[in-house]
Structure 1
Amino acid sequence: MPHSQDNIPIVLTIAGSDSGGGAGIQADIKAISATGSYACSVITAITSQNTLGVSAIHPIPVAHIESQLDAVFSDLNIVAVKVGMLADSEIIDMVARKIRQYQPKHLVVDPVMVATSGDLLLKHRAIEVLKRELLPLADLITPNLPEAAALIGGQVPKSEDDMGAMIEQLRRLGANAVLLKGGHLESDDNSNDLLIEAKSSDLLRARRFATKNTHGTGCTLSSAIASYLAQGNRLHKAVYLGKQYISQAISHADELTVGRGHGPVHHFFPGHINVR
């Protein structure tokens, strides 16, 4: 949906900062900007990280996260919110309370819970608070396969049939819709996601690209979807456009040379402007 620069939709990202620039707040701001919206941010943690990994995490005090939220919501017309890394149950509880207070039109939650190593980033009590307080407020949650398994207390899917078997349990989390991301099924030629709504589910197909530069894909996808929702697209169209955007950003990732490890996707790939 076209818009003039005078009424550019505003999207808030609530997440951690990635000093390497490939994930977290930095990826969110790039994705929101590249897809044609205005990005503002609330930082929940400061990480020391690069393409080789995370060396330190410094959580922001809850009171300061709250003051950041009050500052942006009291002045900016925030249409959509994307939530990423929330370090503990106290932060999750406060963010959910503020979402209920300010009631943005759209909420996308990327439940950042499982590290690449497979370790849980959130304690079990925090996961329970996330499920009880925040997920039921969401238009869309975007778990990858390990995160979905942690949310429902099940095994990590090994196939698309396994993904399908999770549908009913994921619906019971209470979000309006779930985008179950199949990127971890690395033996598949495609990287297919399952969009689960109240009465239907739809397999969204995409080609898998052979690249190690996929740092920040989850942050980027959820932010792009929030951006497209803010622009007035219906959920299914916003998810379709977001997946189209991340696929292109991954396909162009090797055009960048950033770091010695798992580099970022190319948020501003050639021809990216207003991909919708």
Structure 2
Amino acid sequence: MTDVLIIGSGPAGMTAAIYAKRANLDVLVVEKEYEGTGQMAESSRIDNYPGFYGSNGYELGEKIREHVEALGVAFFEGEAVSFEKTATGFKTTLESSEVLESKTVIYTAGAAHRKLTVLGSEKFDNRGISYCASCDGAFYQKRDVAVIGGGNSALDDALLLSEICNKVYLIHRRAEFRGDASILEKLEQKENVEIIRNAKVQEIVGEKKAEKLLLDTGVTLEIQGIFVAIGMIPQTEAVKDLVTLDESGYIKAGEDGITSEPGFFVAGDVRTKELRQIITAAADGANAANSAIQYIIRK
């Protein structure tokens, strides 16, 4: 019987492990990928995590993991597929059919960016295609970029990039945007923003990096960067019958990580919140661990 079972080895999960272990609890981290560190490993450069300016995501992930391992936290490779509440805590079943028992669970499985699936999109992933304007926008200063999407994330990304880039194309497959009208109005007043409605990206072309977008309207756009904001997919299939989810599938919880199921906590991108960044994931992990510690003490 483990005190704290952590699902996910990204920044939220590993920070939770640090705090729980320092409280002298028995901690086990279940990781889907061997020695994985979450989505941050895919970032080529990180400029907004304090103390690690200019590092790439892989290096930062390795540093955090070294910290966790130095404390003696155990890792277990596997994918959690279901959870069962018991009299003493939880039974977690893995894809391999193995069952792990714990007093508490901290769920940090994250959320995946909905990928752009057109010709060339796989080739130029991380070579011109980004899924985070606040992370990577600064790398495209005074360049021409495109934002793809029609919700608030796309509008916010376009507005942010309009202050950084030379030209911003906002491309939406429909005439009407789902995002806030007030933000759209601001974008319409920007001289360096061109809004393209009723258009879909057909192909991305280039040599070593993305250079052109071919639209189904016959238009070709010359760009240096593409920011995709067509939604996120929270990894909550395994917990949908255990905890309360919001309308988008994220686990409902405040900064304390407390869910609708006592003893089951959540942290990181899979939680309902506004900003999904490495630093907020780490903060979530610390808070969720503290909630788990208090739960065990009071239990």
Asked if these proteins are the same fold (TM beyond 0.5), I'd say no
Larger radius of gyration: 2
Q: Which has the higher helix share?
A: 1
Q: Which has the higher strand share?
A: 2
**TM-score, with length taken from structure 2:** 0.31
